[in-house]
Chain A
Amino acid sequence: MQRSTNRILTTHAGSLPRPDALREAWSRPGVSDAEIDSLLKRAVADIVKEQRDIGLDIPNDGEFGKPMRAAADLAAWGTYIFGRLSGFGPSPSGAAAPDRARPGQPMRIVGERWEQREFADFYAHDAAIPSTASRPACIAPIAYSGEAALRRDLAALKAAATTSGIEEAFVTSIAVGSLEMFCRGQNAHYARAEDFLEGIGKALAVEYRAIVEAGFLLQLDDPGLPDTWDMLDPHPTLEEYKRYAMLRIEALNQALTGIPQDRVRYHICWGSWHGPHTADLPLKDIVDVMLRVKAQAYSVEAGNARHEHEYKIWSSTPLPPGKLLIPGVVSHATNVVEHPELVADRLVNFARIVGRENVIAGTDCGLGGRVHPQIAAAKLRALCEGARLATHQLWR
């Protein structure tokens, strides 16, 4: 994995705005594989070149192979996997995960977040929070069946990277615990949570290994680590939650068996809709669990008003030797384009604490489906310009 040896390198969290033609094709019933393949190939070639031209050092395929069918779509990072796994479908009862747990029942993931209860009026009228009503349930043994789609994605990126002269690119994949969170813990097949997680892990390991074997960095998307905190009912204590989270991390590490740590980066975020986020679990409360993931780099939100101050935790939580941080220094959470001087300030704050060679500039979360395409491009330009300014300060 590249690190910032003589300048601050740049990357982003994954999702980029999809071209209209691709979205339209994904939405069309009965669209042929051949049409998707050819559209995707061209779109990935374009987006990789665009990232290179903007100055991003470690690009990806924009997650274009993960279907997005609407311009505003916050869930494509998770929905894609159900097209690549067997064992999931509508729950046997036909019901979605409950919004709240019934009194006396054990803790479970529910449809309604605690923050939604606190800001009921806001969420009723203003917020585009993704609906969880149609999230599938596990109804049979889980197995990976997405080889064809995965091969298509990897081939498209490989071709694009070669053409654009890219040294290192990354491919995202959902983390084990986040898949469980995404389907709101609906499991009608496995007896225990441990078995369910093991089943998920074995299936996802196929995807993880294929990405690394194809020569790409694997980025594990795990918003579930900090964010399931706000979805558990009854609400756990922090200690209970850390035990809960650690079980998911152990299952993830199991799925990573045999994959060298230096090929893995790990991304967390706190849900990407534009809400108050007052219920977000502070990073300091979960950072020790995060650092147990067998990855070399950790990508964390730090570019928005709820998490910007958290760079300070690295003064008291040392970053283990050899590890890298990819702080978000531009954000999906506002349409305002970050000033490059602010981007530089944020990067310098991190570099002064963990060392300049251990910081790569990133985004809070994916920009695709979350901000207007032109704004996403402007933010990535601000990111690269800010990294240049920070480099100038840190290496002069």
Chain B
Amino acid sequence: MTQQNSDRIQITHIGSLPRPHDLLDQIKAKYTGQAYDQQSFTSLLARSVTDSVRKQAECGIDFVTDGEFSKPGFFSYIQARLEGFEPRPSQKFTLFEKEVAAFPDYYAQYFKDAMLGGAAVPMVPMVCVGPVKYRGEALLRTDIDNVKAAAKAAGIPADHVFLPATAPSGVGVNEYYQSDEEYFHALAGELAKEYRAIAEAGLLVQVDDPFLPDIFVDPRFDERQMKRRAEIYVEATNAALKGIPAEKIRFHTCYGINEGPRIYEAALADIIRYVLRVRAGQYSFECANPRHEHEYHLFEEVKVPDGKVLCPGVITHASNIVEHPELIAERLMRFAKLVGRENVMAGADCGFSSQALYRTEVHPTVVWEKFKAMREGADLATSRLWTRRKSRPSRARPARGKRARKKR
């Protein structure tokens, strides 16, 4: 399976990258109803994706993507691809409710400059007011064609290309369906078209679900409601992924690209049982920031099902400091010792451009440096994890958990 490592630690990232400013100018025009030239947008987009994929390959990234360059945001993009919604500009986004209550001053300033405040395309809340229907075929086709062509030009096989797509939980608010459960399943039926098209094009589907962890810090829900809602998310996601082989799927959770104190965030322990129930071949989660770095300990107790790959963040969007390759290696070794070296892919905590932003959380030049550090750190880990066994015949089964530890 491509996602598992055979002789070295593979590396990837999570999707969004700082978009070129000339492209942002055109995205802004396109999504705010100003005049723009479709033809020049199309060629600029293709060129930008080609450049970005080439740079990713040059940094040694094994699994590449299009940087989400065509999209105004990692979940807001879906609005253009679904029918049944109306914009509700008067409705307010509530982000990080408990955090903001605890650090009001800090977040007032932060939201002004970053996140939605800095988005090239203002984000408008969407409300579902009619039957949901997918209409994004042409937009998706463009993304697939661009990234496949770019990968080919960079010498990367299609099965080492991933394309992110939002989970059913990331699409607006329901006012049409009888229940949220019905709503999420209706969405699943339509989003399945996007997921399937990505898989059928030979690419990996990455399902983005930052909304799953959010449930566990949402003051509206009691414990029972939290559990039920998480189950619905998982059921809807699995329904949408039906028919796609697990090894073609990466499931990504995170906590929104937030550089704040982040005291009120769900622990991985709260969500892991739901995460592992998603029928994916690979699970991506944050592990490279001071709020979540310790959570690798969870896998001292939680068993990861056979054949599944963990993709912990080993570099983060939450700081401009470039992670030292030795630290990256250490982070990867911790996981390898717990779940087997075959089952760890190096990743990022989250994307590097929360929305289409002119000023991204991490400066573009620093992002590329982080990618290079990740390659170097993964190679260090590889040399420590594989060297000692070089002369032995390769094992029939991947090393696992405690067994692997005892061997060392």
A binds B: yes
A5 at interface (Cβ–Cβ under 8 A)? Answer: no
Judging by beta carbons under 8 Å apart, are B321 and A333 in contact? yes
Contact among B261, B321, B365 for A337, CB-based, below 8 A: B261
Judging by beta carbons under 8 Å apart, are B289 and A334 in contact? yes
In the assembled complex, the Cα of A334 lies from the Cα of B364 at a distance in Å of: 18
A331 to chain B: closest residue by CB: B290
Judging by beta carbons under 8 Å apart, are B366 and A119 in contact? yes
Judging by beta carbons under 8 Å apart, are B327 and A305 in contact? yes
Per-position 1/0 for A295-306, Cβ under 8 A of B: 000000001111
Tell me whether A338 and B322 are in contact in the complex, defined as CB-CB below 8 angstroms, given that A372-B103, A375-B103 are known contacts: no
A-B contact pairs, 27 of them (CB 8 A): A119-B365, A121-B364, A125-B359, A125-B363, A127-B320, A276-B369, A305-B288, A305-B323, A306-B324, A306-B327, A307-B324, A308-B324, A309-B326, A331-B290, A333-B319, A334-B290, A334-B321, A335-B259, A335-B260, A337-B262, A339-B291, A339-B293, A339-B294, A342-B293, A342-B294, A345-B294, A378-B263
In the assembled complex, the Cα of A312 lies from the Cα of B66 at a distance in Å of: 38
A122 at interface (Cβ–Cβ under 8 A)? Answer: yes
In the assembled complex, the Cα of A312 lies from the Cα of B261 at a distance in Å of: 28
Tell me whether A122 and B366 are in contact in the complex, defined as CB-CB below 8 angstroms, given that A345-B294, A375-B261 are known contacts: yes
A93 at interface (Cβ–Cβ under 8 A)? Answer: no
* Residues 314-356 (chain B) with a chain A CB within 8 angstroms: 316, 318-324, 326-327, 330
B292 at interface (Cβ–Cβ under 8 A)? Answer: yes
Per-position 1/0 for B347-389, Cβ under 8 A of A: 0000000000001000111100100000000000000000000
A121 to chain B: closest residue by CB: B365
Main secondary structure of the interface of B (DSSP, over half): loop
Interface residues on A, range: 35 or more
Judging by beta carbons under 8 Å apart, are B106 and A375 in contact? yes
Residues on the A chain within 8 Å of B223, using CB? none
Contact among A276, A307, A309, A336 for B366, CB-based, below 8 A: A276
* Residues 310-352 (chain A) with a chain B CB within 8 angstroms: 312, 330-331, 333-339, 341-342, 344-345
Residues on the B chain within 8 Å of A240, using CB? none
B292 to chain A: closest residue by CB: A339
Instruction: State how many angstroms separate the Cβ of B244 from the closest Cβ of chain A.
Output: 34
Per-position 1/0 for A261-303, Cβ under 8 A of B: 0000000000000111110000000000000000000000001
In the assembled complex, the Cα of A125 lies from the Cα of B21 at a distance in Å of: 14
Judging by beta carbons under 8 Å apart, are A278 and B320 in contact? no
B37 at interface (Cβ–Cβ under 8 A)? Answer: no
Judging by beta carbons under 8 Å apart, are B261 and A305 in contact? no
B297 at interface (Cβ–Cβ under 8 A)? Answer: yes
In the assembled complex, the Cα of A306 lies from the Cα of B377 at a distance in Å of: 12
B301 at interface (Cβ–Cβ under 8 A)? Answer: no
Residues on the A chain within 8 Å of B366, using CB? 119, 122, 276
In the assembled complex, the Cα of A127 lies from the Cα of B106 at a distance in Å of: 19
- B interface list, Cβ under 8 A from A: 102-103, 105-106, 259-263, 288-294, 297, 316, 318-324, 326-327, 330, 359, 363-366, 369
Tell me whether A274 and B320 are in contact in the complex, defined as CB-CB below 8 angstroms, given that A119-B366, A305-B327, A375-B261 are known contacts: yes
A329 to chain B: closest residue by CB: B290
Residues on the A chain within 8 Å of B261, using CB? 335-337, 374-375, 378
Per-position 1/0 for A110-125, Cβ under 8 A of B: 0000000001011001
In the assembled complex, the Cα of A334 lies from the Cα of B323 at a distance in Å of: 13
Judging by beta carbons under 8 Å apart, are B289 and A336 in contact? yes
8 more CB-based (< 8 A) A-B contacts, given A305-B323, A375-B260: A126-B320, A274-B321, A306-B321, A308-B327, A330-B290, A331-B290, A334-B290, A337-B263
Residues on the B chain within 8 Å of A378, using CB? 103, 261, 263
Instruction: State how many angstroms separate the Cβ of B339 from the closest Cβ of chain A.
Output: 18
Which 9 A-B residue pairings sit nearest by Cβ, starting from the closest? Answer: A338-B290, A341-B294, A309-B326, A305-B323, A122-B363, A342-B294, A309-B327, A337-B261, A276-B322
Residues on the A chain within 8 Å of B318, using CB? 334-336
In the assembled complex, the Cα of A331 lies from the Cα of B291 at a distance in Å of: 12
- A interface list, Cβ under 8 A from B: 119, 121-122, 125-127, 274-278, 303-309, 312, 330-331, 333-339, 341-342, 344-345, 372, 374-375, 378
In the assembled complex, the Cα of A304 lies from the Cα of B319 at a distance in Å of: 9
In the assembled complex, the Cα of A312 lies from the Cα of B318 at a distance in Å of: 25
Residues on the A chain within 8 Å of B321, using CB? 274-277, 304-306, 333-334
In the assembled complex, the Cα of A341 lies from the Cα of B269 at a distance in Å of: 13
In the assembled complex, the Cα of A278 lies from the Cα of B320 at a distance in Å of: 10
Residues on the A chain within 8 Å of B260, using CB? 335-336, 375
Instruction: State how many angstroms separate the Cβ of A48 from the closest Cβ of chain B.
Output: 24
Residues on the B chain within 8 Å of A338, using CB? 290-291
Judging by beta carbons under 8 Å apart, are B106 and A374 in contact? yes
Judging by beta carbons under 8 Å apart, are A306 and B323 in contact? yes
A280 to chain B: closest residue by CB: B324
Residues on the B chain within 8 Å of A336, using CB? 259-262, 289-291, 318-319
Judging by beta carbons under 8 Å apart, are A374 and B363 in contact? no
A338 to chain B: closest residue by CB: B290
In the assembled complex, the Cα of A345 lies from the Cα of B291 at a distance in Å of: 12
Most buried by A among B288, B292, B318, B366: B366
Residues on the A chain within 8 Å of B363, using CB? 119, 121-122, 125-126
In the assembled complex, the Cα of A306 lies from the Cα of B106 at a distance in Å of: 25
Tell me whether A274 and B319 are in contact in the complex, defined as CB-CB below 8 angstroms, given that A122-B363, A341-B297 are known contacts: yes
B289 to chain A: closest residue by CB: A336
Residues on the B chain within 8 Å of A308, using CB? 324, 327
Instruction: State how many angstroms separate the Cβ of B240 from the closest Cβ of chain A.
Output: 32
Instruction: State how many angstroms separate the Cβ of A126 from the closest Cβ of chain B.
Output: 5
Contact among A278, A334, A337, A374 for B322, CB-based, below 8 A: A278
In the assembled complex, the Cα of A179 lies from the Cα of B189 at a distance in Å of: 67
In the assembled complex, the Cα of A116 lies from the Cα of B365 at a distance in Å of: 12
Residues on the B chain within 8 Å of A331, using CB? 290
Judging by beta carbons under 8 Å apart, are A305 and B106 in contact? no
